[in-house]
Amino acid sequence: MNEGGREAGHKRVLGLRWRLGLSYLLVIWVILAVLVVFMSRFLETSIIGARRASLYAQAHLIASAIRARGGPFEARLVAIGGMPLNARVMVLDGYGRVLDDSASDPDMVLRKLEFQEVGAALSGREGSNTYYLPDGSFVMYVAVPADWDGNGGAVFIAQDLKDIVIQYQNVMRMVASGGIIASMVALVFAWYLSRTISEPISDLSRAARMMASGRLDSRVSPKGPLETRELGASFNYMATEIEKTVEGQEQFLMAAAHELRAPLASMRALVESMQICPPEAEELSELINDVLREILDLQGISESILSLLRTRSGGAVSDEEMIDPAEIIGEVIRSRVLGGVKQNLKVILQGSRQDKGIVEPRPMAAVDSSNQATVVHEREGQQQHLSGAKVQMDPLLFRLIVANLFDNAVKFTPPGGTVVVSMDFPENGDEMVLKVSDTGPGIPPEHLDRIFDRFYRIDPARQKSTGGAGLGLAIVKEACEKSGGMIEVETRPGGGTIFTVRWRNKRPGDL
C-alpha cells in the first residue's frame, strides 16, 4: 500500500476516534448540565426553603420576646440576645420605620424600609426573598408581622447566605471534578472503543485495495464487536464469491474455446475432402451450403456464448424462443459426423415419432468415407407424435447440452460401440426428456460426485487419447441449470453410461 493510502487510513482512524470522544464528552456535559439544574432547584426548594422557615421562626420568637418585655420601646435587641448568625435584625413600627437595629447603626433609627417583604408584614403576612447585592453577596430578607400594642409593627431579618453559597460551590466543585474525571475516562474508553472498531475497518480497507489490485485471495480475520465481526465475515464471503466468479469466467472462456472447435473441425473436414476429391459440379452447391452453415453455426455459437457469459455475470438473461429440439439434435449429430468420429461407431437416433426418426435422413456424400460411422434413425412405439413439435427454450443452451453429451459419449465409446441419442415427451408427465447413452467402460462410483466439475478427468493419463480439457460435462451441468433442466447419470463399470436430462413443464406446441 502506498504512503498516500496509508496516511488517508490514519486520518480516517483518528477522525473516528475524535468523533467518538467528542460524542462521549457531549453526552457527559449535557448530563452534568442537567445535574446542575437539578441541584440548583434542589438547593432552592430544600436548603434555602429550610433557611427561610428557620428565619421565620426566629423572627416570631424575637417578636414574642419583645412583647413579653413591654414592647419595642422597653426591650432592646441587645438585651434579648439569640440573634441569627450572620444576620441583622430590625424592629419596625406600624409605618415601617426602624425602632431598633441589632447592628446599633444610629443612621437607621426611624428610617423607613421600603422593601416588599416589609410591606407584606405590615399587611399581616409573612414575606421573604433572596437577593444578590452589588458587593456580590447573596442575602435573604425575611419580615413577619408583630403588633405592638395595637399599633402594628414588624420584625425584619437580613441574613448573609454565605454558608449556603460555600456549600453550593463545594458541590459544584465536586460535580466539575467528577465531570473532568468522567471526561478523561470517556476519552480513554472512546479511544479504546474506536480502536476496536477502526482496526477491523482498516483491515477491510486494506483487503479491499488488495482485491482491487488483483489479489483475489485477500481475506480478513473477523474481530472486534459483533457488528465488525459480521462485516468481516460478510467481506470474506463476498471475496470468496468474487474469486469463484472470476475463476468461473476464466474457465468458461476455455469452455467456449472447447465448444468452438467442433464447427471448425467440420469446416476443416469439408475443405480437406474437397482437396482430396474435387467435387462434381452438381455437388459443389451442397458443399458450399454445408460450409456456410458451419460458419453461421460458428458465428451463432460465438455470439450466444458471449450472451451466456453476460448472463452468468448478471448482465443479461438467456433468450428463449420456440425451437424444434429434434432439428437441433439432427444438426448437432450431423455436424459431429461431418467432423469425423471413430471408425465402426454406430450412432442411433431415437424418437417417439410414429412415422420417422428424430432427424430426417440426409445425403452423406460430403462425409469422408474414412469415418465409417453409421447413423441409424429409429422409431419408438405409440408415444406422442413429434413431427413439427416445438418448445420454448434457449437454443444455445439446448445445443450445448446435446453437443457435449454426444461428444462425451463418442469420446469414451470404443470402436465398434454404439451411441444412442433419444428424446421423448412422455404422455404421463409434463416434461421433455433427453437421453444420451454409450457402450463405453462406464464411470467408477468414486468419481460420480466430481464428473461435473470443471477440468476434472477420471483418468488424466487418457487426455491425449480422448482429447478435451474436462469441460464438457461442466458445460452440460451449467446449461441444464440455466435452462431449468435436471441431469441424472446411470452407469455400470464395463456396461456403459446413460445421461438423462429432464425439463419440467415443457410440452410441445406447434407454431
Residue in 308, 324, 305 with CA at minimum distance from that of residue 316: 308
Establish if 192 belongs to a structural domain: no
Domain termination residue (choose one: 117, 139, 167): 167
Q: State the residue range of the domain holding 266.
A: 246-504
Establish if 340 belongs to a structural domain: yes
pLDDT confidence tier of residue 508, bands split at 50, 70 and 90: low
Establish if 191 belongs to a structural domain: no
Q: Choose between 294 and 100: higher pLDDT.
A: 100
Cell 425584619 belongs to residue: 156
Establish if 208 belongs to a structural domain: no
Establish if 199 belongs to a structural domain: no
Amino acid at 511: L
The stretch 362-385 carries a mean pLDDT of 41
Residue 203, all three cell numbers: 483491515
Domain termination residue (choose one: 118, 144, 167): 167
Q: Choose between 54 and 376: higher pLDDT.
A: 54
CATH label of the domain that carries residue 471: 3.30.565.10
Establish if 377 belongs to a structural domain: yes
Indicate if 258 and 161 belong to the same structural domain: no
- Contact between 343 and 329 (Cβ < 8 Å): no
Establish if 12 belongs to a structural domain: yes
pLDDT confidence tier of residue 259, bands split at 50, 70 and 90: low
pLDDT confidence tier of residue 201, bands split at 50, 70 and 90: confident
Q: pLDDT tens across 19-38, in order? A: 777 787 888 888 888 888 88
Indicate if 317 and 459 belong to the same structural domain: yes
pLDDT confidence tier of residue 61, bands split at 50, 70 and 90: very high
Determine the pLDDT at residue 352.
55
Indicate if 150 and 256 belong to the same structural domain: no
Q: Could you give the dihedral angle defined by the CA atoms of residues 285, 291, 296 and 301, in that order, rounded to the nearest 10 degrees?
A: 150
Determine the pLDDT at residue 386.
44
Domain termination residue (choose one: 167, 200, 235): 167
- Contact between 407 and 336 (Cβ < 8 Å): yes
DSSP conformation letters of 389-408: -BEEE-HHHHHHHHHHHHHH
Indicate if 342 and 455 belong to the same structural domain: yes
Residue in 368, 241, 260 with CA at minimum distance from that of residue 313: 241
Residue in 126, 130, 127 with CA at minimum distance from that of residue 140: 130
Q: pLDDT tens across 151-187, in order? A: 889 999 999 999 888 888 888 888 888 888 888 887 7
CATH label of the domain that carries residue 53: 3.30.450.20
Residue 326, all three cell numbers: 429434434
Structurally, how many domains does the chain consist of? 2
Establish if 212 belongs to a structural domain: no
pLDDT confidence tier of residue 378, bands split at 50, 70 and 90: low
Indicate if 139 and 263 belong to the same structural domain: no
- Contact between 483 and 394 (Cβ < 8 Å): yes
